[in-house]
């Protein structure tokens, strides 16, 4: 059976990323004990990731790259902003436990959508934050193997995710 629309694909891989042709850094690694499982064609993954796995079968190896523009995009300068330091006052004090350079903070936009902001700098008046995806501007390199391909159950298709090993577990 090959990886096509609505099939469950179970893969192991290691993902490295590099910025501007620099050194590749390990970002994520899965293995046969802790694989990554997904339903092909559910639009939840990078399109280039799925395209590179289309029609592969169990035992097939893969090694492909995804350019930044086709992955998590380029770094958008408009997503790097200064937020008034007053926004981080808790009980009369600046929230230094949560707001420090290098930390990622969950925030919400004006419509209530959840955003993750990376703290870049803290000044007297502002907190400079980057709301780009952490892998924006990075070229991605996936190397791995297809471990299993199977039909997705009707429950998995209804829920939009894989159940069991490498997938989602309902408790």
- Say if CB 96 and CB 115 are below 8 A apart: no
Q: What residue ranges of the chain are covered by domains with CATH 3.10.50.40?
A: 7-72+135-159
Name the CATH topology of 77-130: Thrombin, subunit H (2.40.10)
Q: Tell me, what's the pLDDT at 171? A: 43
Residue 24: count of CB within 10 angstroms of its CB: 16
What residue ranges of the chain are covered by domains with CATH 2.40.10.330?
77-130
Give pLDDT, residue 28: 96
Please give the pLDDT value at position 165: 66
Spans of the chain, pLDDT less than 50: 169-171
The reply to whether CATH 1.10.3720.10 applies to domain 7-72+135-159 is: no
User: pTM, whole model, 2 decimals?
Assistant: 0.83
pLDDT at 44: 81
Q: For position 168, what pLDDT does the model report?
A: 53
Element (H, E) at 49: helix 47-53
């Amino acid at each position: 059976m090959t990886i096509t629309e609505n099939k469950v694909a179970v893969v192991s891989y290691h993902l490295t990323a590099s910025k501007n042709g620099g050194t590749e850094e390990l970002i994520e690694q899965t293995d046969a004990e802790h694989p990554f499982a997904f339903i092909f064609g559910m639009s939840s993954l990078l399109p280039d990731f799925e395209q590179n796995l289309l029609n592969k079968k169990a035992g097939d190896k893969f090694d492909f790259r995804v350019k930044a523009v086709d992955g998590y995009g380029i770094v958008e300068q408009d997503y790097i902003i200064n937020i008034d330091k007053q926004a981080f006052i808790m009980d009369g004090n600046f929230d230094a436990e949560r707001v420090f350079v290098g930390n990622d903070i969950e925030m919400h936009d004006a419509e209530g959508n959840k955003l993750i902001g990376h703290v870049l700098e803290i000044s007297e008046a502002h907190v400079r934050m980057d709301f780009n995806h952490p892998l924006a501007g990075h070229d991605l390199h996936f190397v791995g193997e297809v471990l299993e391909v199977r039909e997705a159950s009707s429950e998995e298709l209804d829920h939009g995710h894989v159940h069991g090993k490498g997938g989602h577990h309902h408790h």
